[in-house]
């Protein structure tokens, strides 16, 4: 199985890099795992609606260029469906069983994801109503992917 996270922008904080590296190492027992960073679009603090759409469109093009046709795509979105850890684990397990061995998760930039990215998604997923920095979301998502595999093998890690 191949698991990929596509995310906008570079990760700067070392403590987040360390946490992600730890979960990536643990995940390597179950799947090929990698994170692809696409460049964020530079923009002023105050943006008009048109400027916001332009920024999201450019970031969206960069994201879509990293997704292959055969990949099953989860896009993290506020309007996505919330899942429990068990439900995500079951979904990943079922994808593997039904021949979807390439799974991609997308974390958009600070403005969110362009509608074109959401349309490419097989499913939109939400981690709740909290607003989290997208750099922190990388760590949370990586841990939840690892947790999914641990649930699927019946490990006590999840308890």
Residues making up the annotated binding site are 76, 108
What's the angle, vertex CA 145, arms to CA 142 and CA 148, rounded to 5? 150
SS3 141: helix
The CA distances from residue 132 to 12, 29, 56, 112, 123, in Å, are 16, 28, 18, 12, 20
Q: Give the residue ranges of the annotated binding site for S-adenosyl-L-methionine.
A: 76, 108
Burial of 105 (0-12, 13-18, 19+ CB in 10 A): buried
Question: CB–CB of 26/58 below 8 Å?
Answer: no
């Amino acid at each position: 199985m191949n698991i990929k996270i596509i995310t906008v922008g570079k990760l700067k904080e070392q403590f987040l890099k360390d946490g992600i590296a730890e979960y990536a190492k643990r995940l390597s027992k179950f799947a090929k795992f990698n994170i692809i960073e696409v460049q964020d679009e530079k923009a002023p603090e105050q943006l008009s609606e048109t400027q916001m759409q332009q920024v999201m469109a450019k970031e969206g093009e960069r994201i879509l260029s990293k997704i292959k046709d055969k990949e099953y795509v989860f896009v993290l979105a506020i309007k996505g469906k919330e899942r429990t850890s068990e439900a995500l684990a079951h979904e990943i397990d079922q994808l593997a069983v039904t021949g979807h061995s390439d799974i991609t998760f997308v974390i958009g930039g600070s403005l969110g994801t362009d509608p074109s990215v959401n349309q490419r998604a097989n499913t939109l997923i939400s981690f709740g109503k909290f607003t989290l920095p997208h750099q922190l979301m990388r760590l949370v998502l990586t841990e939840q992917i690892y947790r999914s595999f641990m649930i699927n093998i019946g490990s006590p890690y999840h308890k």
